[in-house]
Amino acid sequence: MEMETMYQQLGVSPAVYQYGESVLRALRERFDAIDQTAEYNQGKVLAAMQKNRVNVTHFAATTGYGYDDEGRDNLERVYADVFHTEAALVRPQITCGTHALTVALSANLLPGDELLSPVGAPYDTLEEVIGIRESKCSLKEYGVTYAQADLKPDGSFDYDAIRAAINERTKLITIQRSKGYATRPSFSVQQIGELIAFCKQIKPDVKVMVDNCYGEFVERLEPSDLGADMVVGSLIKNPGGGLAPIGGYICGTKECIERCAYRLSAPGLGQEVGANLGLMPAFYQGLFLSPTVVSGALKGAIFAANIYERLGFSCVPNATEDRHDIIQAVTLGSREAMMAFCRGIQAAAPVDSYVTPEPWAMPGYDSDVIMAAGAFIQGSSIELSADGPIRPPYAVYFQGGLTWYHAKLGILMSLQKLCDAGLVVLPE
């Protein structure tokens, strides 16, 4: 009763709380398996830090050019070891995941080359980067063409279409691990590895980049363990552990990373410049905490799927499927339900809990987007958040939670708002 009273004080009715508890009782075994993966990945991160002799001198701030920044350089060695790659680029000068992907693509594609996506349409913000939607400085504007092989209706790879799409101009293949704003399945590392092997069998010299956003530390392996030339992500998602206030990473072959560094700074300068601006403690500690933080977010996603699927809503992944990223898509079927869900997530936040999220036109998207995120760091997707474009099928994408307990509260509050609006009726 004491716990139920606490949830009542936070805005969750006894009926919603008891429904959540009934769902939770069946999830203990799955949560134990998530904890085991987190323990394994914690060891992987710790081993990389110990190997590279992380010490207090690596936390010193640098400014200006950032020459001889040993803390920055050592962090990149740590990332390379964690992801089992030859090199890494980990910088606060990379502003977001889309920026990291843009650097990786533009550094490794030249005029006349072709970029291929074998997994269907890319995430919305990459459309202008590629030139699918016209934009200044797109890859298309610089003479890079784009080809796409759509997924089969069941979400699996269309190997025949991929084989037909690979040609003499195919220079780089991009694989998006997470679903983005789509209701397709996210891909397991094993599936991605099989796709990489297939593509390289057809064209051995083709480079493969994996958009690893939302997937880091969900499994024990990363795509770089199975042949990816580059894995790319944002530090305000999984690997920043909720502490990194900005930044992105690219891990991969020495050749690819060198080109990325030249593109990020300038030809001839590469990784030699780029001050850390005092962010090293947050970057190191965030990476250290990341496996545990990701495990809490995964529990929240599984809880959400089980809460909503039992109420008749379509969920991707569904309530029983294995997880390959931290995102949970729930198809709510209406604008009103999306807004109620997001109001609940916002009301559960430690920051801006009193704010009412409203849809608006966000840069890089072709429709209004609603976002709920009372985060310590603006746009931090590893913190509790929910968002989605206001368009059919009216799916909302839930992710994050620096702790499992906060993710739990957020899901219960989202359900509470739907119940209050008369959009959901709990089972007797």
- pLDDT of residue 179 exceeding 90, the answer is no
Q: Does pLDDT of 364 surpass 90?
A: no
Instruction: Select the more confidently predicted residue: 193 or 179.
Output: 193
> Are residues 118 and 254 both part of a single domain?
yes
Give the CA count within 13 Å in the CB-facing half-sphere of 232. 24
CATH code where residue 327 lies: 3.90.1150.60
71 and 7 in a common domain: no
Considering the domain boundaries, does residue 265 fall inside one?
Answer: yes
What pLDDT was estimated at residue 289?
A: 98
Judge if 119 and 75 occupy the same domain. yes
Residue 54 belongs to a domain: no
**55 belongs to a structural domain:** no
Q: What is the pLDDT of residues 196-210, one digit of tens each?
A: 999 999 999 999 999
Judge if 141 and 205 occupy the same domain. Answer: yes
Judge if 264 and 184 occupy the same domain. yes
Read off the pLDDT of residues 240-295 as tens digits, 9 standing for 90 and up: 999 999 999 999 999 999 999 999 999 999 999 999 999 999 999 999 999 999 99
| Overall residue count recorded for the chain in this entry | 428
Quote the percentage of the chain above a pLDDT of 70: 100
Q: What is the pLDDT of residue 104?
A: 98
Residue 283 lies in a domain: no
Same domain, 327 and 244: no
**Helices within 156-188 (DSSP H only):** 159-165
| Residue ending a domain, choose from 253, 278, 303 | 278
d(CA 102, CA 138) in angstroms, rounded, equals 9
Check whether residue 26 and residue 92 sit in a common domain.
no
Distances (CA, A) of 235 to 56, 193, 242, 322: 21, 23, 8, 24
Question: Residue 349: which domain range?
Answer: 2-42+288-420
Q: Is position 271 within any domain?
A: yes
pLDDT above 80: residue 342: yes
Measure the CA–CA gap between 45 and 49, rounded to whole angstroms. 6
Q: Give the Cα separation of 315 and 310 in Å (integer).
A: 10
* Domain co-membership, 394 together with 323: yes
Which CATH number belongs to the domain containing residue 177 in this structure? 3.40.640.10
State yes or no: cis peptide before 291, omega within 30 of 0.
Answer: no
Q: Is residue 93 located within the same domain as residue 209?
A: yes
Q: Are residues 316 and 394 in the same domain?
A: yes
| Domain termination residue (choose one: 278, 306, 335) | 278
Q: What pLDDT score was predicted for residue 181?
A: 74
Amino acid, single-letter form, for residue 53: R
Pair 300, 237 in one domain? no
Q: Does position 127 have pLDDT exceeding 90, yes or no? A: yes
Last residue of some domain: 222, 253, 278? 278
